[in-house]
Structure 1
């Protein structure tokens, strides 16, 4: 599932962004050996401070498994300020309808755990491509320029999503070479990727559904409740199967603490939504008391 995190909702999804920055550190710093700044296990650069849009892919448990960053080319961006060597002295392309896509990565380690095959990686990659292109198209972006390595270039070609042109030339960047490629954000391109991957469903999840999934995941990780393997399906599809047996008092205490700790109306609404999810899934009617007492 895909969610867009940008300047409008980043305060609500700070936990997702934090996990995404950790994934980027593992991929670009550790695996690819790029010269990126990593602080406290997170890869964050100056362009992340410009309020870009992030297209983030999640697995069924709510973990970040893929991501890519979209940034306008009318201001500072990587190709104009960091990778200008790729342009061979030519000025960077700038247009309100041309956005830069960078930091495309997939968590192959998580996706291939427990005996899963590379098919999961391929599906996550294609879903991220579809999400990126559909987000761009509906935002009025006609083209994407992206800095990629030859591996990603081959992935794009294999998925029937080959760049229609390249800018400048390929140069060595860290352990791998890099190049600047151009992709159009047309419906035809999106349909080709969908056909290749066999993806016909809407890849985007609603913000509320993702927030519910993340809250449930954090609750499970805190040790308060054991999450079932199909937790996301229960939340995203409004399934009515009961959750595992837990101590209702613990859940009440947790929910009450979340409501009392809320600093804004949005945080309070998220906490109350969690109560609604747990009541709907059949934890115990007594959870209504948490709402009535607050």
Structure 2
């Protein structure tokens, strides 16, 4: 069984938070070699705080994927460490969410030989469903060229706000991610190729399969 839920920072239990930070370190430091803040085997920073919501995707109780959400009215990655990447003034809009630390743990997914669930697309869909459910209007995120390609191919409608350069002098994209009906429908269509269920359940929040 797969379930995708939202948890506030203040409510997440310590064991699950430790697991989240461990998987983030494994993704962003060990695999991608990003310049991230690590302490031991955990990756976390000042944006993991009381203003943060996490979406947590678990398969049979094991954490598989996650993304971090912060309202644009609070300090976030776009107004913080990413601001020097772009010639851009981020809107202080309390109807927009900033997303960061998106990951799907490849090792854990590879070990799940009994399922072909498209966890990446389920997380994309969950981001749309959650944002709609709490009455927000869209999502801003910064991503690499490869992630931008994945987003476009998924059927999620995206708008490039601006393109900049990372600390590695590589192109990075600041995107506005739509939460429209077409994006939701495109992702649902893709997911149903691998796991057939009524569309009604895939339009709801939280997501349970």
* Matched residue, 2:85: 86
Aligned-pair distance for 1:174? 4.5
Mapped partners of 2:10, 2:156: distance in 1: 30
* Superposed CA offset, 1:126-159 (max 9, x none): 1111111111111111010011111211111111
* 1:187-225 Cα deviation digits (max 9, x unpaired): 33212211122163347368xxxxxxxxxxxxxxxxxxx
Deviation at 1:72?
0.8
Name 1:4's counterpart in structure 2. Answer: 6
Determine the C-alpha separation between the residues in 1 that align with 2:181 and 2:79. Answer: 28
Larger radius of gyration: 1
- Alpha-carbon distance in structure 2 between the residues aligned to 1:129 and 1:114: 20
State the match for 2:109 in structure 1. 111
Gaps of 5+ in 2: none
Counterparts of 1:194 and 1:205, CA distance in 2 = 12
2:176 corresponds to 1:178: no
**Contact persistence 2:69–2:98 (CA under 8 A):** yes
Counterpart pick for 1:193 among 184, 187, 196: 187
Q: What is the deviation of 1:20?
A: 1.1
User: 2-side partners of 1:116 and 1:167: how far apart?
Assistant: 40
Per the alignment, residue 140 of structure 1 pairs with 135
**Which residue does the alignment assign to 1:149?**
144
Shift in Å at residue 176 of structure 1? Answer: 5.7
Deviation at 1:115, TM superposition (A): 5.5
RMSD of equivalent CA atoms: 2.4
Aligned to 2:160: 166
Select the structure with the greater relative contact order (CA < 8 A; seq sep ≥ 6). Answer: 2
| Structure-2 change in CA distance of 1:44 and 1:8 (3 Å) | closer
In structure 1, stretches of 5+ residues that fail to align are 207-235, 237-294
Residue pair 1:6, 1:52 contacting (<8 A) in 2 also: yes
How far residue 166 of structure 1 moved from its aligned partner, in angstroms, is: 1.4
Equivalence for 1:73: 72
Partner SS for 2:99: strand
Deviation string 1:4-54 (CA, Å, 9 cap, x unpaired) is: 1114632xx332222111111111111111111111211111010243110
CA contact (8 A) 1:66 1:128 kept: yes
Kindly report which structure 2 residues correspond to 1:1-294, keeping only aligned pairs within 5 A, or say none. Answer: 1-7=3-9, 9-10=11-12, 13-60=13-60, 62-88=61-87, 90-113=88-111, 119-120=116-117, 123-163=118-158, 165-174=159-168, 177-198=171-192, 200=199, 201-202=201-202, 204=206
Q: Judging by fraction of residues, say which structure has more helix.
A: 1
Q: 1:171 to 1:50 in 2, by over 3 A?
A: farther
**Contact 2:157 2:178 (8 Å CA) reproduced:** no
Q: Normalised by the size of structure 2, how large is the TM-score?
A: 0.85
Tell me the distance in 2 between the aligned counterparts of 1:116 and 1:27. 23
CA distance in 2 between counterparts of 1:100 and 1:148 reads 12
